[in-house]
Structure 1
Amino acid sequence: MLSTHFDMKDLGEASYFLGIKILRDRANGVLKLSQRTYIEKILKRFNMHNCRSTKAPIVKGDKFSKAQCPQNDDKREEIRTVPYSFVVGSLMYAQVCTRLDIAFVVGMLGWYLSNPRSQHWKVAKKVLRYLQGTKDLMLTYQCTSLLDVVGFCDADFTGCIDDKKSTTGYIFMMAGGAVSWKSVKQTLTTSSTMEAEYVACYEACCHDMWMQNFISALGVVDSNCRPLKLFCDNSAVVAFSKNTRSISRSKHIDVKFYFVKEKVVESLIDIKHISTNSMLADPLTKDLPIIVFQEHVSQMGLLEA
């Protein structure tokens, strides 16, 4: 496609792209993306290449707040000697490219970049220890005759201790692996779980509209032939998205969130309910028990060779 507009030289199949190793198994119809080399590089850079591994970057019950941040110059001086911001920046690139399993904790660590505490530094090192034990995980895609994009959206109501704002998480899957994801703190304060989940649903729908146009332009999937399925584990959100009437308890939700209803009416998006246990976006919004976290990671398409 690009060769019709630019002078280009075909160097054959790509094996590396911006630090991401591309592995193909055409016989079995499998494509894998690995950042093992990049992970080993950052582990060595921060002298963590011989560290003991851990099973999860964050576990159920871990909580962090600004109250933990240094309150005087002496304590701030202590933390200035550690490369906290460099570690978080390095982790950010990994989670953006293939390691969505650390997206939530890396986003949380980013909240304290301006004034971190030793506790936050310990968590950053724990993420490195987690990568030490899981550097062989690869984002894996399987050949399939049905290239549908399926979305999952979730929210952690008032997850932030400091300002009581919720966390949005969404993930889009295709061919057995994640193709797009996000974990971010919401910009507005919601007053119920339903509202927090609806905000997450809106964010996912906006991204879905962009992604459908992008995929259609590639000509790989006819994304306009059927509505995209978006799964949510909150039944009230599913009902509200299909209800054309306003509900008194939700009137203060900004008008832009009626965008979701509009797309449902236009049959561009089909919002369906799913059980919380099957919600793939859960690790993008909150800390989970280790076993549950590991199950979700594999279901996202992060598999070992």
Structure 2
Amino acid sequence: MKFKARVVARGFSQREGVDYDEIFSPVVRHTSIRVLLAIVAHYDLELEQLDVNTTFLHGELEEEIYMTQPEGFEVSGKEDYVCKLKKSLYGLKQSPRQWYKRFDSYMLELGYSRSPYDCCVYHNKVEDGSMIYLVLYVEDMLIAARSKSDIQKLKGLLSAEFEMKDLGASQKILGMEIYRDRSKKKLFLSQKSYIQKQLSRFGMSSAKPLNTPSASNVHLSSAYAPQSEAEKEYISRVPYASVVGSLMYAMVCTRPDLAHVVNVVSRFMIQPGKEHWQAVKRIFRYLKGTPDVGISFGSDTECLVSGYSDSDYAGDVDTRRSMTGYVFTLGSSVVSWKATLQSAVTLSTTEAEYMALTEAAKEGIWLKGLVGDQGLHHDQAVVYCDSLSAICLAKDQVHHKRTKDIDVRYHFLSTEKRIKVKKVGTADNPADMFTKSIPYGKFQHCLDLLNVLSG
């Protein structure tokens, strides 16, 4: 039998400004991972995965840090001595940041470029003129290139500098399963195992399946907070925060169909009531029937950024704020989505749609920059909106005098050349499911438009 032990620093005793300063360490955005997968599927690239062993031990310390000798391993005769750390150690607050800085500097030494749109995305041109990509999430990394030999060369360079584990062709990353059909240039991303694990964890494995995650005639509010002592006692035994957190991770990674309803139930984390808990259980009943639903990548359509925006005017019962919903595709593959309450109360449907359109445009600009940085250049990203009045407001500054109550940061679309706004019919706007609960027929139509389907 083999036993392992790891020396861990007592980071909780560190003092800011003395033995640590900055501690933030970036990780790759999930959107960037999906963009890479869309590129891999579209151009039929090789996709491999690496894992770094003892990640945080590679970081170089910038501060002078001392620690007591590990218990049971004191040097005889020098028990009152302390150890001066030469490199970062697990437990130190700055260890993740120092690891990223070490890795980042090495990638730049190799001649790779760091994306200005996501500092955990790296790329470089190889001898045949094609691109090689690397994305980093702490110790997990994906590498994509046209030639497997180019990937092997990069793996060799990384292994010479860090202790690496070669995982071969990528099959799973951050709990997301990757399935490829190279003959059809298709790639499928899902969290089937994760969802089944959560169903079992929260006792919903035998629940009766439903075909939508939320009921279209139910509007949750803080008025459903527990009033009696019996209700408070009941809710105290409910793992509401843990359940919503597990649903949120599925929504962020592979399940845009959960975006709206997860946003709604997460508003009541402080004081959930029975109705809120029933709404959460309904989401699990929906997942029970759709554990293998995920995102399909790969098509013959041109690899361009396009998006859809929508809003639900005064949809929040408590604050009367409107919902913003948007979704973006690269080619026909969904890569980015969001459902959130707007920061201010709007005075009309037009204003709500306009604010949603502006938020979508900002995401579109970022996405256009990200894919352009990776070699997929195009003049404009297109954002579709089903409100003609909001489109007119976005295109012509003469209308801005009617919306003086909207913050100035929303009034940039009329002069923004990187985004083109177009009209789409409400029936064909998939962003509709990000702003409200909709009937099964419309819900399924939105999923079909986004290539979100069962694996």
TM-score, normalised to structure 1, is 0.94
Q: Distance in 2 between matches of 1:107 and 1:48?
A: 21
The match for 1:81 is 237
Q: Is the 8 A contact 1:228 1:269 kept in 2?
A: yes
- Work out which of the residue numbers 214, 224, 231 in structure 1 matches 2:384: 231
Q: Is the 8 A contact 2:351 2:403 kept in 1?
A: yes
- Work out which of the residue numbers 58, 64, 77 in structure 1 matches 2:220: 64
1:136 Cα deviation from its structure 2 partner: 1.8
1:207 aligns to 2:363 (yes or no): yes
1:5 Cα deviation from its structure 2 partner: 12
1:20 aligns to 2:173 (yes or no): no
Distance 1:203 1:52, change over 3 A: same
Q: Secondary structure of the equivalent of 1:111?
A: helix
Please give the residue correspondences for 1:242-257 in structure 2 after superposition, counting only pairs within 5 Å.
Answer: 242-257=395-410
Q: Is the 8 A contact 1:31 1:140 kept in 2?
A: yes
1:252 Cα deviation from its structure 2 partner: 2.0
Q: Secondary structure of the equivalent of 2:430?
A: coil
RMSD: 1.7
1:110 aligns to 2:263 (yes or no): no
1:4 Cα deviation from its structure 2 partner: 9.5
Please give the residue correspondences for 1:1-305 in structure 2 after superposition, counting only pairs within 5 Å.
Answer: 1=123, 2=134, 3=154, 7-8=158-159, 11-144=167-300, 146-219=302-375, 221-222=376-377, 225-263=378-416, 267-305=417-455
Distance 1:249 1:73, change over 3 A: farther
1:137 Cα deviation from its structure 2 partner: 1.3
Question: For 1:157-185, what per-residue CA distance to the aligned partner results, in whole angstroms no more than 9, with x for missing partners?
Answer: 00001010000000001232210000001
Q: Distance in 1 between matches of 2:204 and 2:229?
A: 28
How many residues align structurally? Answer: 299
Q: Secondary structure of the equivalent of 2:398?
A: coil
- Mean alpha-carbon deviation: is it higher for 63-72 or for 161-170? 63-72
Q: Is the 8 A contact 2:368 2:380 kept in 1?
A: no
1:143 Cα deviation from its structure 2 partner: 2.9
Q: Is the 8 A contact 1:168 1:200 kept in 2?
A: yes
Q: Is the 8 A contact 2:365 2:419 kept in 1?
A: no
1:82 Cα deviation from its structure 2 partner: 0.9
Question: For 1:110-163, what per-residue CA distance to the aligned partner results, in whole angstroms no more than 9, with x for missing partners?
Answer: 000000001111110110010010112121012325101110000000000101
Question: For 1:248-274, what per-residue CA distance to the aligned partner results, in whole angstroms no more than 9, with x for missing partners?
Answer: 3212211111122221xxx21110111
Q: Distance in 2 between matches of 1:46 and 1:174?
A: 35
Distance 1:5 1:183, change over 3 A: farther
The match for 2:84 is none
Counterpart amino acid of 2:339?
A: S
Query: Which segments of 5 or more consecutive residues in structure 1 lack a partner in the other structure?
Result: none
Q: Distance in 1 between matches of 2:288 and 2:247?
A: 12
Work out which of the two has the higher radius of gyration on C-alpha atoms and give 1 or 2. Answer: 2
Distance 1:5 1:239, change over 3 A: farther
Q: Distance in 2 between matches of 1:257 and 1:192?
A: 15
Query: Which segments of 5 or more consecutive residues in structure 2 lack a partner in the other structure?
Result: 1-122, 124-133, 135-153
Q: Distance in 2 between matches of 1:302 and 1:193?
A: 29
Q: Distance in 2 between matches of 1:120 and 1:100?
A: 21
Q: Is the 8 A contact 2:365 2:381 kept in 1?
A: no
TM-score, normalised to structure 2, is 0.63
Counterpart amino acid of 2:331?
A: A
Q: Is the 8 A contact 1:76 1:115 kept in 2?
A: no
Counterpart amino acid of 2:219?
A: K
Distance 1:5 1:192, change over 3 A: farther
Bigger relative contact order, structure 1 or 2, given CA contacts below 8 A and separation 6+? 1
- Mean alpha-carbon deviation: is it higher for 10-19 or for 274-283? 10-19
Q: Distance in 2 between matches of 1:46 and 1:251?
A: 48
Identical positions, percent: 35
1:72 Cα deviation from its structure 2 partner: 4.4
Q: Is the 8 A contact 2:308 2:384 kept in 1?
A: yes
